């Protein structure tokens, strides 16, 4: 049947052309944005999963920053302990020099003066801080090391060992008199050195744990990003092929729509 009011071929060609244009616009949007999912209609389920993965990635990044800050705190603490080691070693040297029977009382008093000055510096170190957080205030810190908060590493309380067993223990050190007193002082200083060595060893082990935790967070972040990429990122090669196909279909659809519209003109020959 030949009719004028209804052109089915033209309507179908227009419908196909419209669908092609929609797909072409989606392909252009995906290639220009680099994302396969630009709105919920593209992949509702994939979008939901991608949102969760993206949130996990952000939490992992934040946790990694927190762990690195805690690591910096321990490194600063170790820097203080390293200087304390130099001070205690010098006090140990002065204590040993004070056992020399050839030293006069004036010599011993000079040793005592230097030792007192060094011990005072140790007392100042007890109050050192990192970003407003005391390094030796007696508070144990718990560092969260997983993005879901299920894992943590405790930074031990080192204030008692540093303050009581080192700074305070040396506060009454006396190397200004008899050799017997100086010899007794050697025991005090030796014990302080042992306590300081324990503090540095503890600090080092905690730095290692936090370093391993930071490495694990980096690996987890890479894996999460890889999983999210497979869902949300566009495959450039595949989408480029789609773009070429939709471009060809658009050109063909436009030509066929024009052809369908012209086909009605054949009716005029029947009327002439």
Residues 130-153: pLDDT tens digits? 888 888 877 778 999 999 989 999
- The whole-model pTM stands at 0.79
Q: What is the pLDDT of residues 168-198, one digit of tens each?
A: 888 888 888 766 676 788 888 998 999 899 8
Strands 141-144 and 152-155: antiparallel
pLDDT computed for residue 160 by the predictor: 60
Q: What is the pLDDT of residues 64-105, one digit of tens each?
A: 999 999 999 999 999 999 999 999 999 999 999 988 888 888
Q: What is the pLDDT of residues 214-225, one digit of tens each?
A: 999 999 999 999
How far is it, in rounded angstroms, from Cα 113 to Cα 199?
27
Q: 96 is written with which tokens?
A: 């040993």
């Amino acid at each position: 049947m030949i009719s004028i009011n209804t052109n089915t071929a033209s309507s179908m060609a227009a419908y196909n052309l419209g669908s092609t244009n929609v797909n072409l616009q989606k392909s252009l949007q995906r290639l220009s944005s680099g994302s396969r999912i630009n709105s919920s209609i593209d992949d509702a389920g994939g979008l939901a999963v991608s949102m969760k993965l993206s949130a996990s990635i952000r939490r992992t990044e934040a946790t990694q920053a927190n762990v690195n800050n805690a690591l910096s705190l321990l490194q600063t603490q170790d820097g203080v302990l390293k200087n304390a080691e130099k001070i205690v070693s010098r006090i140990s040297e002065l204590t040993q020099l004070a056992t020399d029977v050839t030293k006069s009382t004036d010599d011993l008093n000079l040793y005592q003066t230097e030792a007192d000055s060094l011990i005072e510096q140790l007392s100042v170190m007890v109050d050192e801080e990192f970003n407003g957080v005391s390094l030796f205030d007696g508070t144990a810190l718990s560092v969260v090391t997983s993005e879901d908060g299920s894992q943590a590493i405790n930074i031990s309380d080192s204030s008692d060992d540093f303050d009581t067993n080192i700074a305070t223990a040396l506060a009454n050190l006396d190397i200004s008199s008899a050799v017997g007193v100086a010899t007794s002082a050697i025991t005090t200083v030796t014990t302080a050195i042992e306590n300081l060595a324990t503090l540095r060893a503890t600090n080092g082990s905690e730095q290692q744990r936090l370093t391993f935790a930071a490495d694990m967070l980096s690996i987890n972040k890479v894996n999460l990003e890889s999983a999210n990429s497979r869902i949300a990122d566009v495959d450039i090669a595949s989408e480029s092929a789609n773009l070429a196909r939709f471009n060809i279909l658009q050109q063909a659809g436009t030509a066929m729509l024009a052809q369908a519209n012209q086909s009605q003109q054949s009716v005029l020959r029947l009327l002439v």
